[in-house]
Structure 1
């Protein structure tokens, strides 16, 4: 037993002495000591800071590509805004639009303090679609080349490119009310003991205070290039989601923006010979209006999808696409659907 304790003690001592060098290999925390070690100064600076903007729509949004990967620094030079849950420094990004579904990973780095991440997603009209917090971001202990972190992943839907309801902007901030709270992480000694399958030496787990400043690793991945995409289920449409009401699937934290199918159900149940007539006569069962003129290439894409759906016999899907296109500003989608149905009966 004495030999075991001595071994653990030596391992803990070696690990502690090497800790800073290992951390520097994972995240260059040594370069950001002023950010990570000055929580009190950060709180004082936040209280004195003035709002950068009148509203969220007036933020400066930085465009990022679909392969974006960067260590983000939130400090005294980062803009400040008073959100619904208090004042916070923030970073704002404009997401790529012409891409496949996007997987976004955010990992808040834990050192002497922690920036507790919160994410606000906005559509193209700067309306909030959802807010992601403790339901998504979970503590991940240090492992291999990843340090202690609070990490979360979520997916941005790109089923309908050009849809004005698509999530287009991301705002990263923290909750002022959480600055008085802490996060308990697993001690290095406990992690080492677990990896060696030896007795836990009983060292207390560190308690990390939350700070207005911090480091967050952000990466974006375009899932259309994923070799395993064929194993991904993606519904073609579902009932309309109001842009002001956050709604996300439990997994994979994905908000699906898609067209309503109320009218489609009516037309799809009619006999084939009467479908075109029913489409022309029946009122569209939706309260959503077109948001503007659609780009020519986007309109052509919708028309092709409508024709393809009709030719495959999926009238319900074709109706959903037509309604979606009309709400996005198409002036030809409905006629394309009528013509496609008529042609399918010849």
Structure 2
């Protein structure tokens, strides 16, 4: 009888140990109101530099899309780029992944092209990068200067089964498939993403189109000094505008200022300072003033 009771107790304990752990239900709903109901009301981040690391989090804008509300990020081509090759990657972490949908908009904010989640490729991890959703496409100044990255509720409710690294390695080497379980990554309403940017064609401007810069004329210090001759030279060469010389769009100014304010209110001064410097490099004229006024309060 003692042996029977011991066997039953052992079986019970093993059963408890092998039973699946009840996981917390993920929260993919959005209860906050949308900031905008039209694409023209979105705030846009200039696509300057070689890459942009960004996150979609609780500080991001909320849009009211055809599929419902979603946190999103909006981007716009800089004035000096006519055509841009874009690689969008959404990183897969153990905490989840942002399953993206992309809209490319015309200069009048009409949807020209869209990329569903099924259009994205799964890119396996490497020595320096995580697994990711990946999509390469091109944007043009005349047809699709605006891009929106968001995640519909249908996507957020899903998940992806990621090939185990040992299985990938065995397939590459032609070995027998190992006895491993492929991990499952849950789709979430927040996530970390990256844009790799490669300008394919630049827009050029004649010198007459560039705003004139006033140059101070030296003043003679002696009465018998020869008068200083001043001459206006008209440049005939074609110059290319740089992102730092372009004036930031009002929508982008509003976006950066709101992000700086949110960072200061959450006592994350490092993030606020980083946003201010990024906005200044992109041509903002109000970010520094906004930052200084907020930290004085």
After TM superposition, the score normalised by the length of structure 2 is: 0.56
Structure 1: gaps (5+ residues): 1-37, 226-295, 298-346
- CA–CA distance in structure 2, aligned partners of residues 39 and 79 of structure 1: 24
Find out whether 1:216 has 2:189 as its counterpart. Answer: no
| Secondary structure, aligned partner of 2:78 | coil
1:104 corresponds to: 86
Q: Give the superposed CA RMSD.
A: 2.4
- CA–CA distance in structure 1, aligned partners of residues 191 and 71 of structure 2: 10
Give CA deviations for 1:259-298 in whole Å, capped at 9, x if unaligned.
xxxxxxxxxxxxxxxxxxxxxxxxxxxxxxxxxxxxx97x
When Rg is computed on C-alpha atoms for both structures, the one with the higher figure is 2
Greater RCO (CA < 8 Å, at least 6 residues apart): 2
2:26 corresponds to: 40
After TM superposition, the score normalised by the length of structure 1 is: 0.48
Find out whether 1:149 has 2:132 as its counterpart. Answer: yes
| Secondary structure, aligned partner of 1:49 | coil
Instruction: Kindly state the Cα deviation for residue 189 of structure 1 after the two structures are TM-superposed.
Output: 2.1
Task: Give 1:74-93 correspondences, 5 Å limit.
Answer: 74-93=56-75
Instruction: Kindly state the Cα deviation for residue 176 of structure 1 after the two structures are TM-superposed.
Output: 1.0
1:126 corresponds to: 109
Find out whether 1:54 has 2:40 as its counterpart. Answer: no
1:136 corresponds to: 119
- CA–CA distance in structure 2, aligned partners of residues 140 and 84 of structure 1: 28
- CA–CA distance in structure 2, aligned partners of residues 59 and 195 of structure 1: 45
Instruction: Kindly state the Cα deviation for residue 47 of structure 1 after the two structures are TM-superposed.
Output: 2.4
Going by fraction, where is helix more abundant, 1 or 2? 1
The number of residues matched between the two structures is: 181
Find out whether 1:178 has 2:155 as its counterpart. Answer: yes
- CA–CA distance in structure 1, aligned partners of residues 50 and 45 of structure 2: 12
Instruction: Kindly state the Cα deviation for residue 101 of structure 1 after the two structures are TM-superposed.
Output: 2.3
| Secondary structure, aligned partner of 2:30 | helix
Going by fraction, where is strand more abundant, 1 or 2? 2
| Secondary structure, aligned partner of 1:139 | strand
